[in-house]
Homo-oligomer: A and B are copies of this chain.
């Protein structure tokens, strides 16, 4: 008998749910918007989609939740989220009580890494990391075949490793974090700095002459459309992405790395190509290890629900 579980992806703008079988295929799915200003509404929405999935897949044996938040996996509690109102939310207890299935909760980057490791680009490798390059940088590490959580459930946060001491300010309050120099936000910042220096006239014109209106997404789109200035900006940020990837290789010695997230998906090889080159140049002992492939994520927006469903399989007792 194949194990079916429910995966729920709680993001800043939407809550997605799916019933997922043991192959990672979606049997049913549902989606509702996230009410960011009301914790009770968010819980009610999660309960609602859980019931929908339970009705669509009566064989489902457990629920996994991946949330864009700081999560205590042990207790199933959402501690804090940057864009949402909830705080110290005992989601596991609430959901178990209201839906009647065992529940596991983890952060979105960890469940995305699980999804890519089991059913996606990293399938088959015991040691790997999935790095999610969006507005910021998230990550999840799968080491020795298991999601790595660390001593306090806070492992796998390379987005805030310092790669440029006294560098650009990060949203975390420090300077020079990897996500401050290698994320979608960094693409926007680097472009704006160079435009202020007099370059990138086309990009400035496209932003209506307002430097502050130049976003990382607009730069990525212009790069894809062939704009040379934008391509150079994306390549510069790609090199910093590659330096951080090399740090992961030097520390973790993974068999492969998976890179996903909106900024990576939106720029593709324009970002990943320079990242791979810079990574290769900064790996120690390169002559004694096989090349470490840097693979684009394979599951796209479904990584959240699929990974959350994998998380739930541990509770269901089999994969």
Contacts and interface: CB of A to CB of B under 8 A. Distances in A.
Interface of A: 70, 79-80, 125-127, 141, 143-144, 146, 148-165, 172, 174, 177, 240, 243, 246-248, 250-255, 281-282, 284-285, 288-290
* Copies per complex of this chain: 2
A164 B161 contact: no
A163 B162 contact: yes
A201 B155 CA distance: 46
The secondary structure that dominates the A interface is: loop
A130 to B, nearest CB: 14
Given A150-B253, A151-B253, A252-B150, A157 B285 contact: yes
Contacts of A172: 284
A143 B154 contact: no
A243 B176 CA distance: 11
22 contacts: A70-B285, A80-B288, A125-B151, A127-B151, A141-B251, A149-B253, A151-B255, A152-B288, A152-B289, A154-B253, A154-B285, A154-B289, A157-B251, A157-B284, A158-B251, A160-B250, A162-B163, A164-B165, A172-B284, A174-B281, A174-B284, A177-B284
A143 to B, nearest CB: 7
B282 A152 contact: no
Identify which of A125, A161, A281 gathers the most chain B CB atoms within 10 Å of its CB: A161
Given A70-B285, A79-B288, A160-B282, 20 more contacts: A80-B288, A125-B151, A126-B151, A127-B151, A144-B146, A144-B148, A151-B254, A152-B290, A155-B251, A156-B251, A158-B251, A159-B284, A160-B250, A161-B161, A162-B243, A162-B246, A162-B247, A163-B165, A177-B284, A248-B251
A292 to B, nearest CB: 8
A282 B175 CA distance: 9
Contacts of A141: 251
A96 B289 CA distance: 26
A250 B151 contact: no
Contacts of A156: 251, 253
A77 to B, nearest CB: 11
Given A165-B163, A165-B240, A284-B172, A127 B154 contact: no
A290 B154 CA distance: 11
A174 B286 CA distance: 12
